[in-house]
Amino acid sequence: MDPILDGLNHAQREAVTSSGSILQVLAPPGSGKTKTLTARVAYLLSHHGYQPQDVICCTFTIKASREMRERLAKLIGEKLESRLILGTFHSICRRYLVKYGYLIGLRKGFGIADSDDTRAIIRRTIKRLKSSIEVKAAQGRISRHKAHGLTPDAVADRAKAEESELVDIYREYESSLAASNLLDYDDLLLRCGDLLRDHPECVSNVQAVLVDEFQDTNIIQYELMNLFASKNRRITIVGDPDQSIYGFRSAEIQNLKRMQRLYSNTTVVLLEDNYRSAGSILNAAQEVIEQDTSRPAKALLATHTFGTLPVLRRLPNPNAEAQWIVLEIKRCVAMTGGLLRMSDFAVLLRSASLSTQIETAFGRSGIPYKMVGGRKFFDRTEVKILLNYMRVVSHTGHSDALMNIINVPPRRIGDETIKQLTNGAEKAKIPLWNFIKDVIQGRRSTEKKLQKAAEQGLCVLVNLIEASRQKLQECEDASAPRVLIEFIAERLSFQEYLIRTYPLDEDSRWANVKELMHQATEVAAFEEEGVDKEMDLPVIEGVEQQQAHSGEEALTRFLANVALATEITTKEEAKEGDQPTEKVTISTIHAAKGLEWPVVFVPAVYNGSIPHSRAEVVEEERRLLYVAMTRAQALLYLSIPIRQPRLGEGEDGATTLTPFLPPKLTKSRFRATGPSLHEKVVYAIADILRRPRPSLEDIYKGLEFLPSTLDDRWTPEGEEDRSKVDDISTSHDASGEPNPKRRRSDMNQGPKSTTYFSSTGSTIPTTVSTGFTSARDYIAANPELPADADADAAGANKLKPLSNASRKDGLTQASISNFFGGPGSLQKREPVLPSYPQPPSRRYEGPISQNQRSGARSIVPAPLSSHRVQPRPLVPTRPTLEPTDSNGYTWLAAPSKPTLKPARVSMTQEQSGNNTSVGGTAGAEEVKPESSTRGFQPVSTFHSTTISMIQQAPRRTLGIRRSMNGWQDRMKRDGG
């Protein structure tokens, strides 16, 4: 059979092979949309005989186009693939404008104004016009007008007086762009539309047009699609109106209908099978989206098993929410026996700003993560500086870029000087750059004489730029971008500048610069490979293309790609030493579109966050939630802090659940706490992910680090027993967070055990560092590692064994196995594991879990609070290995006995938490576990050590939080 159709289901094949010339493929999440579109491209080439250069394929992001290229290279070979006209609308338009822009009077060498430039220009005009409109608002409105093809005059005609202010700004903005020969994002599309309308011959070769993510196109893009296809009218679009989340960028869902109206011969194919998510997740997501009654009903059929119900978790506050995510990730990793790794988790946020608490919690507990959709690589200051230099070199008319670097690094050119220069340039009606040059070369002068120092600084700048331009002229190939970056960085002594300016993270900043160079190099390599200039447009007879100096062209192309980059090119990977990136992803929901993860967390599902308080269209917010939920393959967690100090609605910051999750839905489709991860659940996860089921042995191995096998640190209602400590919530931030959990007051009140990372400890790094990461990974991969300092740092939740006197430091591997009876005992234990029927009571056993939160905060009983104790290893008390239970469970850890004296125990904790110096003796440890089972919950079973149990006992009796906090604070201050 045709290899192109391999692995496609019936509906997908129908779409791929459809003979309809106008085809709409409606593809819900996880239905194989990209696969289908890719196959369609391949099919058109091979079965219809189209030449690749006659096929235009538009994607929404650069990443999507890259992925598509990769897939196509496999299907049809790189040779054909490289000749396709494939890219984002913006990049395709840019290509056409570079080649044919002269036909509509576009000046050669135009630059692209990115949104920072745009904002800067608008800010300036607003200031000049003394308008009261907010910069961002003006930017958005202007862009919206442009996206609808409305010129300032058109807006003026139809708008009332109150718009006149905006119209003025809009006008000025447009002339500023024109003066600098810049096009903003909207212009790229608009001008290309103008071009193709006036000169359709430019696309007369086009046989077929394909558009991905069609629901995100705006009117102009829709028109462009039609213009591209004007000759032969063969269009395939793929999209899903339910995933339209770019209305704020003027995306128009109605384009689907509009297209059907325009082309009466439109064929519509529905893909309904979902290959991504568990049935339970789809059901929940489906119910969310179906609340929108205006939307045409569409099926979403699960191909996977039902799986376990998604979770809707209530937590006391955002901090606890972040800690809970940490705990759940650890629990999932531990209880699935290697099935899930860090890279299988994603935290999807409505707003990037919600990430801070989560990042802090991750950092503190050693969970490696990468941020996506936050600050983009190209937006980092140090990168931006170099890019702006290059933009000036490439296009001296780029006054905004010039303004950004005119005094960076500082060269004594201050506000006053800049004012003189910009005013002068404006009066002379010449670009800022030319004016500056004239001034320092004595051909012109400013109204007020410039300071000597400033003048000298300008000289230096002009010389640098001129030298760079010279360099560029000499460089006639694709290496130009890299050559320039190196040249400029060198001449600026950029590294020294970074060291001076950012002493704290100079190395990571310099690493970003290296990464930028690396990317420039890659672009060069990429372009040289396809000697044929894959990016070039096909030559059309009778229409002349403009040619440019190839070094310049390489540079402008590089800069354009940067400007148009919508996604984050992952950074930091450049650093060596980074291990295979096993990281949790933190992303905005918007940036997560099209992606999937085995486990997805969606925090902050409260009113005001989703729907966002400033959202204009509620339906879009609902779709956003739908998109987030449908990213999950096997496990989906939604959560809400019941209080959110600043943003909550109530006076005490109480939040209300998003209206998209009405009670009826949450009751039937969600559970209130994380699922118990017994083997059936684990196997279902494995099956959904199409991964091998882990062995019980593997599952078992992970448990040893686990504080609790259940999501039970907070009550399902999201409460923590705060009665005794009211400052808990505020105490965690900087220090460690862990507030001691005092959850059920009857139980664990004591210190947690802790230890591990350190917030305070001097020996352990406090900040997130690769050390953490690596240790953590190591542990994750090697649960049996000795618990040494690294392990602690990594946040493993293991208790340190209290020591017998001989062992000072933690368990060794041997000791762990001994502890559990050695490897040989494994078999015996197996049955024990995740056992199901859940043990009757599951209380949070606390101590260990505390660790995660913070080691630092150990609680010391008041009497001891004045002195610090050195950490001692806990001596593992002997656990009972034999199954003690009638149901066949073996408790790995003995339940704690009340025997212990609280004071001692807590001392232990403290020690471990603080790493301070005195040696204590481990005395308490003598407790005997055997008696353990009674009275304790099975949960504890999974605790790795008996110790935890021991500690438990004390907790109950401790009620001194306040003093402890005081102590902690002091610790923080002194030692931090």
Binding residues for ATP: 27-34
Is the CB of 25 or the CB of 385 nearer to DNA? 385
Q: Residue 633: which H helix or E strand, with range? A: strand 632-641
Spell out, one character per residue from 192 to 221, where the chain touches DNA: x when CB under 7 A holds, - when not. ------------------------------
Is the CB of 208 or the CB of 372 nearer to DNA? 372
Is the CB of 78 or the CB of 649 nearer to DNA? 649
Rounded CA-CA distance 707/952 in Å is: 12
Question: Least distance from C-beta 372 to DNA, angstroms?
Answer: 8
- Contact status, residue 104 vs residue 200, Cβ threshold 8 Å: no
**Contacts with 386 (C-beta within 8 Å, 6 or more apart), sequence order:** 485, 488, 489, 494, 513, 516
Is the CB of 139 or the CB of 937 nearer to DNA? 139
DSSP 608: B
Bind-site residues: 27-34
Question: Least distance from C-beta 145 to DNA, angstroms?
Answer: 13
DSSP 354: G
Report the residue from 141, 549, 612, 956 that binds DNA according to the rule CB under 7 A: 612
Amino acid at 694: P
Binding residues for DNA restricted to 618-647, rule: CB under 7 A? 620
Cα dihedral across residues 19, 25, 30, 35: positive or negative: positive
> How would DSSP label each residue in 381-408?
HHHHHHHHHHHHHH-TT-HHHHHHHTTS
Report the residue from 336, 588, 676, 896 that binds DNA according to the rule CB under 7 A: 588
Q: Which of helix, strand or coil describes residue 22?
A: strand
Question: Least distance from C-beta 103 to DNA, angstroms?
Answer: 27
Spell out, one character per residue from 444 to 473, where the chain touches DNA: x when CB under 7 A holds, - when not. ----x--xxxx-------------------
566 touches DNA (CB under 7 A): yes
Cα end-to-end distance, the chain, whole Å? 67
Question: Least distance from C-beta 62 to DNA, angstroms?
Answer: 9
Spell out, one character per residue from 521 to 560, where the chain touches DNA: x when CB under 7 A holds, - when not. ----------------------------------------
Which residue stretches of 475-580 are H helix? 480-492, 494-501, 506-529, 550-564
Stretch in the footprint of DNA (CB under 7 A) among 222-230, 587-595, 819-827, 890-898: 587-595
Is the CB of 409 or the CB of 959 nearer to DNA? 409
Question: Least distance from C-beta 590 to DNA, angstroms?
Answer: 3
| Location of structure tokens 């308490």 | 924
Helix, strand, coil percentages, rounded to 5, for the chain: 50, 10, 40
| Location of structure tokens 């972040």 | 322
Is the CB of 350 or the CB of 752 nearer to DNA? 350
Reference 767, options 793, 789, 738, 797; nearest CA is 793
Is the CB of 200 or the CB of 414 nearer to DNA? 414
Counting other chains too, the contacts that 281-287 makes at CB distance below 8 Å and 24 or more residues apart are 281/307, 281/310, 281/629, 281/630, 281/632, 281/633, 281/636, 282/630, 283/669, 284/309, 284/310, 284/629, 284/636, 284/665, 284/669, 284/670, 285/29, 285/626, 285/629, 285/630, 287/665, 287/669
Spell out, one character per residue from 48 to 67, where the chain touches DNA: x when CB under 7 A holds, - when not. -------------x------
- Residue 42's φ and ψ, nearest 5 degrees, are -60, -40
Is the CB of 351 or the CB of 470 nearer to DNA? 351
Question: Least distance from C-beta 185 to DNA, angstroms?
Answer: 7
**Contacts with 942 (C-beta within 8 Å, 6 or more apart), sequence order:** 703, 704, 706, 708, 709, 892, 893
Question: Least distance from C-beta 249 to DNA, angstroms?
Answer: 4
What b/e string do you get for 318-355 counting C-beta neighbours within 10 Å, with b at 16 or more? bbbbbbbbbbbbbbbbbbbbbbbbbbbbbbbbbebebb
Residue 421, both tokens: 């220069």
CA 917 from chain center: how many Å? 40
Binding residues for DNA restricted to 369-428, rule: CB under 7 A? 373, 375, 379-381, 407, 410-417
Sort residue 718 into left (φ over 0), alpha (ψ -120 to 50) or beta: left
Report the residue from 35, 66, 123, 233 that binds DNA according to the rule CB under 7 A: 123
510 touches DNA (CB under 7 A): no
- Contact status, residue 436 vs residue 430, Cβ threshold 8 Å: no
Report the residue from 51, 351, 470, 917 that binds DNA according to the rule CB under 7 A: 351
Binding residues for DNA restricted to 161-190, rule: CB under 7 A? 185
Report the residue from 268, 270, 615, 665 that binds DNA according to the rule CB under 7 A: 615
| Location of structure tokens 């056992």 | 835
How many helices and strands in the chain, by DSSP H and E? 38, 16
Report the residue from 203, 300, 325, 349 that binds DNA according to the rule CB under 7 A: 349
Stretch in the footprint of DNA (CB under 7 A) among 576-584, 588-596, 753-761, 888-896: 588-596
Report the residue from 153, 466, 616, 717 that binds DNA according to the rule CB under 7 A: 616
Question: Least distance from C-beta 450 to DNA, angstroms?
Answer: 7
Is the CB of 248 or the CB of 510 nearer to DNA? 248
Is the CB of 202 or the CB of 219 nearer to DNA? 219
Spell out, one character per residue from 664 to 703, where the chain touches DNA: x when CB under 7 A holds, - when not. ----------------------------------------
How many other CB atoms are there within 10 angstroms of residue 505's CB atom? 12
Question: Least distance from C-beta 221 to DNA, angstroms?
Answer: 12
Is the CB of 451 or the CB of 931 nearer to DNA? 451
DSSP 26: E
Rounded CA-CA distance 451/463 in Å is: 18
Question: Least distance from C-beta 135 to DNA, angstroms?
Answer: 8
Question: Least distance from C-beta 376 to DNA, angstroms?
Answer: 8
Question: Least distance from C-beta 350 to DNA, angstroms?
Answer: 7
Spell out, one character per residue from 234 to 253, where the chain touches DNA: x when CB under 7 A holds, - when not. ------------xxxx----
Is the CB of 497 or the CB of 844 nearer to DNA? 497
Question: Least distance from C-beta 500 to DNA, angstroms?
Answer: 8
Residues near DNA (CB under 7 A), total: 45
**Contacts with 18 (C-beta within 8 Å, 6 or more apart), sequence order:** 267, 269
Residues that bind DNA (CB under 7 A): 61, 115-116, 123, 140, 143, 185, 246-249, 349-353, 373, 375, 379-381, 407, 410-417, 448, 451-454, 566-567, 588, 590-591, 612, 614-616, 620
